[in-house]
Amino acid sequence: MIKETAREITEKKVIPMRAELDEKNQFPTEILRDMAKADLFGIFVPEEYGGFGGGCFDIVLALEEMARGCVGVATSYAANALGIFPVLISGSNELKEKYLPDIATGEKWAAFGLTESNAGSDASGIQTTAVLDGDEWVLNGTKQWITNGGEAQIYTIIAMTDPSKGPRGATMFVVEDGDPGFSYGKKEDKMGIRASATRELIMKDCRIPKDRMIGRRGTGFITVMKTLDISRPGIASLGLGLGQAALDEAVTYAKQRVQFGKPIISFQAIQHMLADMAIQVEAARALIYAAAKHIDNNPKSMSKASSMCKVFATDMAMKVTTDAVQVLGGYGYMKEYPVEKMMRDAKILQIYEGTNQIQRNVIGQELNKEYS
């Protein structure tokens, strides 16, 4: 049902618009509203807060369909989930009651504020600070490359509350659009996923009520790590949907394109490329679905499965989209066909929500622990 709904919106609304959104660097506000009307924003929100109580697997299914249309649009949707996960995972009941119902209906959107100019892969380099002043937290610092920045109304931000304690001195907060001292910096001009908004968040003596702290003081890093463990299969699924879309385009083209008097799909060189693409896509699908089901069973450790599917599916997406451009040849390189955009969109998947190098570190560390 979720898959069907996501597919319908993708086919009717996203695919006809994607080239224009990409060209104009335009945020897909209307499409996200349509998704909200179709209840897609509520799939991962617990039923008591107006959602459907779905898990990682449900999100993965929805994102796969959305990414078949446009990874930029799908990223905007995914970033909303990423943004609210900290509240879902570690937030107090009051915070959940305050924010989750609006997320479930799609009335409000969320964004996740982790990255800074000196803290990307090394999250411990965070320089944003939060100081308690009476009944308020005062935040100072700048977050960089925040997806849905300027478009979302709810921001989950990590800041150092006790810098001397290192990673144990970080805490997460909810900052709302319109909070005093909270503003947006420049909007980035990106290579791909141009429909998504990527922007700086600037906190200058930004004052928020004391009760906007997510979880206990000093638990920010744990919340971030848990959030990323659950969200990474979503990014993997963006790679899966994208790879599937590129394969669909390549096969369709190869059946139509005639050279030397035959459709090019009848040449073994092309057939083998398409076969390899299909194998990769199917293997990624199997790994992602397995990882998502594993995560939904609430296991003790999910980092390895989560990282594995992220690495595999996003590396696959890069390869398969590049090969799709190759199958389409000169046409593939032109903007008239969608595969060049797919190739540009694929690259970010290997970079964001933890680069694929960092994912391999995680997998390595987990292996090290398992065999100790």
Partner 1 sequence: MKIVVCIKQVPDAKDVRLDPVTNTLARDGVESIMNPFDRHALEEAVRIKEEHGGEVVALSMGPPQAEAVLREAITCGADRGVLVSDRGFAGADTWATSYTLAKAVRTLGEFDMILCGKQAIDGDTAQVGPGLATQLKVPFATCVQKIRSLQEGRVDLERMMDDGYDVVRLPIPCLLTVVKDINEPRTPSLKGKMKAKKAEIRVLSAVDIGAEAECIGLAGSPTRVVKVFSPPPRGDRTVFTGSAEQQVDQLIEQLRKYI
Interactions with partner 1, residue window 21-40 (CB under 8 A): 34, 37-40
What phi-psi label fits residue 316: left (phi over 0), alpha (psi between -120 and 50 degrees) or beta? Answer: alpha
Query: Least CB distance from residue 9 to partner 1, whole Å?
Result: 5
Residue 247 found at the interface with partner 1 (CB under 8 A): no
Query: Least CB distance from residue 22 to partner 1, whole Å?
Result: 22
Tracing tokens 């319908």 back to the chain, one arrives at 8
Amino acid at 21: L
The correct pick among 5, 92, 140, 153 for binding partner 1 (CB under 8 A) is 5
Helix (H, G, I), strand (E, B) or coil at 94: helix
Amino acid at 155: Y
How many chain residues bind partner 1 (CB under 8 A)? Answer: 15
Beta-bridged to residue 263, according to DSSP, are 258
Cβ proximity to partner 1: between 37 and 335 the closer is: 37
Catalytic residue flag (residue 136): no
Residue 101 found at the interface with partner 1 (CB under 8 A): no
> How many CA within 13 A on the CB side of residue 324?
32
Closest to 241 measured CA to CA, from 321, 326, 311: 321
Distance (Å, whole) CA 217 – CA 131: 11
Residues 6+ apart with CB under 8 A from 119: 125, 126, 127
Candidate segments 9-17, 123-131, 142-150, 250-258, binder of partner 1 by CB under 8 A: 9-17
Cβ proximity to partner 1: between 5 and 25 the closer is: 5
Interactions with partner 1, residue window 334-363 (CB under 8 A): none
Per-residue contact track with partner 1, 49 to 68, x per CB under 8 A?
Answer: ---x----------------
Cβ proximity to partner 1: between 54 and 113 the closer is: 54
Structure tokens at 156: 């989950």
Residue 296 found at the interface with partner 1 (CB under 8 A): no
Helix (H, G, I), strand (E, B) or coil at 223: helix
Query: Least CB distance from residue 39 to partner 1, whole Å?
Result: 4
Which parts of this chain interact with partner 1 (CB under 8 A)?
A: 1-2, 5, 8-9, 12-13, 34, 37-40, 42-43, 52
